[in-house]
Structure 1
């Protein structure tokens, strides 16, 4: 890769990192092109991107971003997952790592918060924003149903009481 292409790669990675809400650093070993393409496609579908990059270039791209404190993790065959949708991207990379032992999650960051691999795996269990919205809607619908049931209950009891009294007077 010539200097111009390296410079363009650093700039594009830097601008992606400046806009990103999450960065996940992984090591990859002997991933096949088809596997990398599959992972890239899955990450792209949640609004992120996966990049295999040389450590020196990655460290240069980190300069001036909130992820500068992650430069110590760039050792070995490194790849990056960068996204504006933290939970979705984390879920994709964790699911891929669970199914494929050729990729290992090293560390990551959400803003200035450094995450170790265990924290990333824990975040993967967090419901996505869409799942959270569905849960909230479901809860609100259940509250409405229960409220109607509670409000309707006294009226039915009054009706039963009136029926009982009208039959006992006869």
Structure 2
């Protein structure tokens, strides 16, 4: 009975982890139930799956999916944040939570993670969380692409404007 339940839990974990763009392991030690609920809500809003499970079951599920590089991080209390849509969402949500709710406390914190197939340690995840969002980067890119066109239009209008002023001045001079 217990073995069957564990097997079901591992299968459920595998389903949740399969196809993830980001798997972040979090040390959640030190936060209370109210804070955990706030964190879960923030993750839910960002479409990030957040769960707490035994390290051995997480390890089995990851290993069965061919992910062995995170085994070293599976010690002590571990929660898993999984995103199938946005690679940086879990890291951004956790950093925002620590800043806003925990008032810059030293917990919860990253243990390690896997983003787009690359294993990342705690400091690398912190750096990723500081990156601008995808939408912000796209807006910057569009602004950069638009700037030369805008400058060209402005210069062209200036030339046309000067030509019109010159023709207008000639017309006034001939009229008088």
TM-score, scaled relative to structure 1: 0.86
User: Whole-Å Cα distance in 2 between the matches of residues 156 and 88 of structure 1?
Assistant: 49
Residues 56-115 of structure 1 show CA distances to partners (whole Å, capped at 9, x for unaligned) of: 111111113353211111011111111121112210012223434331211111133111
* Structure 1 stretch displaced more, 131-140 or 34-43: 131-140
After superposition, residues 132-147 of structure 1 pair within 5 angstroms as 132-147=137-152
Name which of 92, 103, 110 aligns with 2:108.
103
Q: Tell me how far 1:33 sits from its aligned partner.
A: 1.7
- What number of residue pairs does the alignment pair up? 170
* Contact 1:66 1:111 (C-alpha < 8 Å) held by counterparts: no
Query: In structure 2, do the counterparts of structure 1 residues 64 and 120 end up closer, same or farther at CA, with 3 Å as the change threshold?
Result: same
* Structure 1 stretch displaced more, 134-143 or 90-99: 134-143
Name which of 152, 161, 168 aligns with 2:166.
161
Structure 2 unaligned spans of 5+: none
SS of the residue aligned with 2:24? strand
1:119 match? 124
Does structure 1 residue 13 correspond to structure 2 residue 13? yes
Does structure 1 residue 37 correspond to structure 2 residue 37? yes
* Contact 1:23 1:83 (C-alpha < 8 Å) held by counterparts: yes
* Contact 2:48 2:89 (C-alpha < 8 Å) held by counterparts: no
TM-score, scaled relative to structure 2: 0.83
User: Whole-Å Cα distance in 2 between the matches of residues 102 and 154 of structure 1?
Assistant: 60
- Aligned residues: CA RMSD: 2.3
Residues 132-168 of structure 1 show CA distances to partners (whole Å, capped at 9, x for unaligned) of: 2333344455554433322211110111222333445
Structure 1 unaligned spans of 5+: none
User: Whole-Å Cα distance in 1 between the matches of residues 95 and 8 of structure 2?
Assistant: 29
User: Whole-Å Cα distance in 2 between the matches of residues 30 and 15 of structure 1?
Assistant: 29
Query: In structure 2, do the counterparts of structure 1 residues 2 and 120 end up closer, same or farther at CA, with 3 Å as the change threshold?
Result: same
